[in-house]
Amino acid sequence: MTEHTLTVAGVAVDTRHWIGGERVASAETFTDVSPIDGSVLGEISRGTAAEADLAVAAAKAAFPAWAATSRAERARILHAVADGVEKRIEDLAIVETTDNGALLRSHRRGVMPRVAHNFRFFADWLLKLDHEDFETRGHTNHVSWDPAGPSVLITPWNAPLMLSTWKVAPALAAGNTVVRKPAEWTPLTASLLADIAAEAGLPAGVLNIVQGYGSEIGDALTSHPDVRRISFTGSVPTAQRITQSAAANLTPLSLELGGKSPLLVFADADLDLAVDLAVEQYDNAGQVCLAATRVLVEETVAEEFTRRFAEKAAAVVQGDPRDEATDIGPNIHERQLEKIDGFVRRAVEAGARAVVGGHRGEGRYYAPTLLTDVAQDSEIVQEEVFGPVLTLQTFTTEDEAVQLANDTRFGLAATLATGDRDRAARVTQRLVAGTVWVNCFFVRDLQAPFGGSRHSGVGREGGTWSFDFYCDLKNTVTAPKGWKDHG
C-alpha cells in the first residue's frame, strides 16, 4: 500500500483524482468516515479549481477522438466496463456499504449488478438509436445525434455508483467525455470505477474523476466555459446554485432533484399490499429521493391501516448493514441525522404525534418514524426530510386525495394503492409526478423517461431521452437535385 491508498475490507482504493488517465494528488485532503460506526476510512484528495481546470482540459483534449470513435467500438468498450464491474461486484459492494451505510445484501444482489446493466443498456441502445428519414416536398430529412462535448456529472451519496452510471453510461455512449464529481461523503466507488474503466480500455481523458467539496471544485466545474453539458442529482438549493453558475455559458442542464412524494391508499385497496408499500419507503434509511413519504389514506380504513402499519414497522430490523438480517442501516452523516431529528422535533412541538418511532437511536441510526396529526401546510409535510420519516393524513373523497397529493412544490413520483382500475386511470392522469406506480413501487426500466416536475427537476433520463440531452440533435435536409454525375 502507498500513502495514497486506503483499504476497505481488504479492497485497495486509490484516494487520488483520476485525470487524463493518471492519478493526481491534491495538496489538501478531506476525511472520509463510515456511517456504520464513525470510523475514519482515510484521507481523500481535495480538489480545487486547479484540478477542475485540469480535468476539463483532459476531457476536452480526449473529446475529438472519442466522438469520432464508431458506435460499435464505443459500445464494445462499455460492455467491457460492464464485464469489469461484474468481476468486482463483491469489492464494489463492500466498499460502497462501508462508505454510505446501505445494505450489503442489496449491493451484492441488486445494486452492483444494476451498475453493469446500466452500461450494457446504453451501449445496446446506442446501436439502435435511429430516426426514420422523412420527406419534405421531395427533400430528405435525416436526424442525427452528434456528441455535445465534455460533460460534468455531479452525483449523490445515497446510491453513489448506481445513480452515477445512469449519467456516465449514456454520456460516454453518446460520444461525450466526462468529468464526474462524486459526493464528498461517498467518494470511494468512483475511484474503483476509474480503475475498471481503464482496464476495460476506455481511452485516457474520456472519464475523469475529481473529488472535493462543491464550493471548492463544483463551482469551478459548472461555470467552466469548455463544459457542454451538466447533469446533477441532489438538492434544490444546490441545483439553484449550479443553474446560476452555468447561466453565463448557457450550458444545458439536467437536474434530478428532491421529492415529497405521496402514497395514496384508497379503501378499495388490498390493505396488506398498501401497508407493505408504505413500510418499503424506509428502504435505505429513507434516503431515497423517490420515497413516498406522505401517506394519504382514505378515512374509513385509516385506523386499520395505521394498526397494521405499526405492527409491520415493528418487525423491521435496524442495525449493521453488513448483517444479512438487517433491513435498515444508518443515516449517512451526523449532519444529516441532526437535520432529520430537527424535522421530527419541530413537528411534534407543532402538534404531530409519533405513532411509530420519533427518536434517534445509537450512533447514526434514526428510528423508523410515522407521524400523524400533521397539517398540510406544515414543514414536515412540505419539505424533504431524506430520512426514515413518514407522515399520515386522511382524505374522504378522490378529489381531496388528488388535491393533497399535488399540494407541494415537488413532483418527482407518486404511488397509488387501489383495487379499482378505473380509479387508477383517473387518479394517475391527475397526479403531478414524473413517475407513478400503481400497486407497486420502484419498478424502473431504463427505456422509460425518468425525472421530475416542478422543483423536482428539469429534463428526463433514460432511453433516447438521455441521448437527446447528451447530444446535439441535427437535422440534415438534402435536395433531390443539384448533383453532378461523376460516373
Hey, what long-range contacts does 358-362 have (CB within 8 A, 24 or more apart)? 361/318
Which residue among 51, 184, 256, 298 is the active-site one? 256
Burial 253-264 (b: 16+ CB within 10 A, else e): bbbbbbbbbbbb
440 is annotated as an active-site residue: no
| C-alpha torsion angle, residues 316, 278, 256, 285 (rounded to 10) | -10
Which three cell numbers mark 82?
460492464
Question: Which residues neighbour 422 within 8 Å (Cβ) at sequence distance 6 or greater?
Answer: none
Burial 15-39 (b: 16+ CB within 10 A, else e): bbbbbbbebbebeebbebbbbbeee
Which residue among 216, 289, 384, 471 is the active-site one? 289
Grid cell 378505473 is found at 422
Phi first, then psi, for residue 397 (nearest 5°) are -130, 165
Task: Please give the angle made by the CA atoms of 264, 265 and 266, to the nearest 5 degrees.
Answer: 115
Of 224, 244, 249, 248, which is closest to residue 53 (Cα–Cα)?
224
3 is annotated as an active-site residue: no
DSSP assigned state of 107: I
Q: What is the C-alpha to C-alpha distance for residues 432 and 453, in angstroms, rounded to an integer?
A: 7
Question: Which residues neighbour 111 within 8 Å (Cβ) at sequence distance 6 or greater?
Answer: 93, 96, 102, 159, 161, 162
DSSP assigned state of 360: B
Q: Where does 20-149 show beta strands of DSSP type E?
A: 22-24, 29-33, 40-45, 134-136, 139-147
Catalytic positions are 256, 289
